[in-house]
Amino acid sequence: MTANRFLLWMVSLAAVVAPLRADEELQKRATWQPPPVAEVKAAVEQWLAAQSHEDATQAKLAALWAEDQLPAVSADILDRLAETIALAVPATRDFVALCRGGQPPLVLSSLAALRDTDQPPLVRNNLRLLYGRWLAQHALYDEALEQLDGLQPADVVDPATLLFYQAACHHRLLQKEPCLAALSRLQENKGNIPKRFEVLSALMEADLKPLKADSLDEVSRMMDDIERRLGFGRAGKRVRKQEDDVIAKLDKMIEELEKQAQQQSASSSQGGKQSAQPMPDSMPGGGSGPGDVDQRRTGIQSGWGNLPPKQREEALQQISKGLPSHYREVIEEYFRKLAREGS
């Protein structure tokens, strides 16, 4: 092997080994670890031993946790535990069935299974995770966070699922800092989480990190969230406040566009006057006007209608760029409202 080929081989090896070492170091510093399946099995068997069941039920429970039937990966263990709970506690069967494939009703009822203090944390915490996952999968992000917030990785049998769905809910609700914090914890165990979690967590992080407050991107996402809530029949104070926030942000954008248009107009007129002879400083200017100044209105009552039609259309296109087509109608109606209020 020549010196050049040896050097090239060493560089290639370093490129492969360095990320592996980085991942190993990250896992060493991880604040959580997925529990071994054998440890979960022991906890389940201890819980079941304190109960009495019919022989048929007992046989089914034993089969679920037989050595040759144990889940190969921790991602499947939550569903195995849910199936066990449904068998052992009949009152939870409808609830577990709902969380394993049912469609959400228009109005979510409070579920007694989540408040049963007679059950140990093993049952209550993992039912909350099961329910929170189901809610998030059906785009009920606020309700999902009510279940998932407060749970820690050590509280559940599938901490990766907990952290992923916490992050997903925060992401869809534009809660940037909590989302990035959950993603950071999830990525501490890159090698021990499902590949889809690893890929999607990287995408969520890349998507949310550059998001800026009061940007058109933020307004567009807020509109999407309002549409989602209305689709579930949610039209209360929270939705109305969010609609008001969207209007306020749009109004701020319009005001900034008006200022830019005025500055451009002033620059153009100033350039045209530079050829005129300036008046001597010692001589007062002529003119006999009354000196009244038109007070410009700003904010929600700013003179959107005062913009020339061409500039108004350009501003409208800039505001609605990148938004779904039906939002343009909403924005146009908003502009017409401004024009009416300014007249």
DSSP code for 192: G
- Inter-residue contact 78 to 130 (CB < 8 Å): yes
Query: What is the predicted pLDDT for the residue at 141?
Result: 96
Per DSSP, the residues of 187-248 read GGGGGGS-HHHHHHHHHHHHHHTT--TTSHHHHHHHHHHHHHHHHTT--SHHHHHHHHHHHH
Query: What is the predicted pLDDT for the residue at 328?
Result: 61
H or E element: which one contains 38? helix 37-49
Phi, psi angle pair for 110, to nearest 5°: -70, 140
H or E element: which one contains 79? helix 77-88
Per-domain boundaries in the chain: 37-211
Query: What is the predicted pLDDT for the residue at 8?
Result: 57
User: Could you tell me which of 267, 242, 243, 254 has the C-alpha nearest to residue 299?
Assistant: 254
Q: Residue written as tokens 């039912």?
A: 127
**3-state DSSP assignment of residue 28:** helix
Over residues 119-160, the pLDDT tens digits come to: 999 999 999 999 999 999 999 999 999 999 999 999 999 999
Q: Could you give the C-alpha distances from 284 to 274, 278, 279, in angstroms and in order? A: 19, 12, 8
What is the average pLDDT value for the chain, to the nearest integer?
81
Query: What is the predicted pLDDT for the residue at 72?
Result: 79
Res. 27: pLDDT tops 60: no
- Gap between the Cα atoms of 14 and 55, Å rounded: 59
Q: With a threshold of 0.75, does the pTM exceed it?
A: no
Over residues 173-228, the pLDDT tens digits come to: 999 999 999 999 999 999 889 999 999 999 999 999 999 999 989 999 999 999 99
- Gap between the Cα atoms of 321 and 182, Å rounded: 32
Query: What is the predicted pLDDT for the residue at 271?
Result: 64
Between residues 272 and 285, the one the model is more confident about = 272
Over residues 233-255, the pLDDT tens digits come to: 888 999 999 999 999 999 888 88
Helix, strand and coil percent figures for the chain, each rounded to 5: 70, 0, 30
Distance of CA 187 to the CA centre of its chain: 17
Over residues 282-312, the pLDDT tens digits come to: 445 455 545 444 444 444 444 555 566 776 6
Query: What is the predicted pLDDT for the residue at 74?
Result: 74
Res. 335: pLDDT tops 70: no
- Gap between the Cα atoms of 303 and 311, Å rounded: 13
pLDDT average, residue stretch 90-96: 91
- Inter-residue contact 60 to 80 (CB < 8 Å): no
